[in-house]
Amino acid sequence: MRRYAAVVLVLGVAAAPAAAQDRRTVVEPQLPTTACVTLSPTSGDRSREIEVALRRCRGAAVRLGPGLYESGPIEMPSRVTLWLDPGATLRAIPDPRRFDAGQGLCGTIDGKGHGCRPLIHLADATDAAIMGAGTIDGAGGAAMAGGTETWWQLARRAQREGGKQNVPRLVTVDGGRNLVLYATRFANAANFHVAVNHVRGFTAWGVTIDAPADARNTDGIDPGASEDVTIAHSRFSTGDDDIAIKAGNGGGVRYVSILDSHVHAGHGVSIGSETVSGVSDVLVRGLTFDGTTSGLRIKSDPSRGGLVQRIRYQDICLRGVARPIDFDTRYDPKAQGGSIPVYRDIVLANVRGDGGQLIARGYDARHPLDVTLDGVRFPAGTPWQVANATLHIGPGGATPLPPGVTGPAATVGAACAGAEQ
């Protein structure tokens, strides 16, 4: 069997990065040149066949040729690449029994929502990748076996009833190093599309995340308790957070780069709402937002708050965004607790938009929001909501200036200079 590196290492020869971003020098991954095995589409559940092939092909690639592959849960090991050809679709079978986590809860509503396995699961995996211009489809809009309700309809019913839906995520990573998603479309997840936890070295490059705007809890990519993360040259359209950096009790998140990407429907690029373990050293650069509810968002509250610091937003275009800047320390206004959210050393440089509401709300006078505006330009009259905030104006200025803040107006320039169109 011919072997090759399952994941092209993303440590290149470019100049060393600055502190507030992924510490690796990340370059575009490359597709494999050969495959250990190439599968062809046939009817029925292909999960066992694919999983066996992945285990046998360590250090190589399992290739899915064009066509439809219906599947239940797949456990993906280390040192292997799942390679999807253009026209190949790996689609989740909409049967809660296939995805049940062992307690008979998948496809039901309870108080926790942890009753389903994901379509693809990586546990403590190293040097693994999902690549190629095919699609991984969660079938969130398909009726669940034995009934007429879809996964997404179950999620909406759970919202109305005040419960949690037990539905499968598309891809879940629990621990690992040097993991890559490249050039693949992830679509129609019943819940989150890609959840990444406790990973050191994660790259998503050239991926597409696609779900209807009204599909509840269909986050795009959610890095949690991880470091050295790059998300680049990708497109997002979801029914929830397009990207959400989360730092719950499991650990903090640091050294993240989100670069040169386009965000359509969804709630924008968020930090939070869980920040109790801290988020730091994040660079968001070269993004264009079109029609999202929020754009650049940091959200938390005293039930789950923590320190968010050294965050830089640079070369950003926001068009038709309801809340293009949305920094709020009272995400749930009824939340109580002692985990106070503190946001400091936040910089917005060359951020342009066409309107909306600009929000900068710190927690209280002892825990103010600390933000620098340097080349931030919105139309005159765009409203600011400011409370408990220390706002600095950099040499690039800001237009309109927040209430009570003095400094230069932003220089007139291209509406979205520096941002991907």
Q: Show which residues are catalytic.
A: 240, 267
Smallest CA-to-CA distance from 79 within 31, 169, 8 is with 8
Contact 309, 254 (CB under 8 A): no
Tokens of 48: 């066992």
Contact 352, 373 (CB under 8 A): no
Contact 131, 141 (CB under 8 A): no
Torsion of CA 132, 74, 164, 227, to 10 degrees: -60
CA distance linking residue 196 with residue 229, whole number of Å: 10
Residue 159: other Cβ atoms inside 10 A: 14
Contact 222, 243 (CB under 8 A): yes
CA distance linking residue 271 with residue 291, whole number of Å: 19
Asked if omega into 277 is within 30° of 0 (cis), the reply is: no
Residue 147: other Cβ atoms inside 10 A: 12
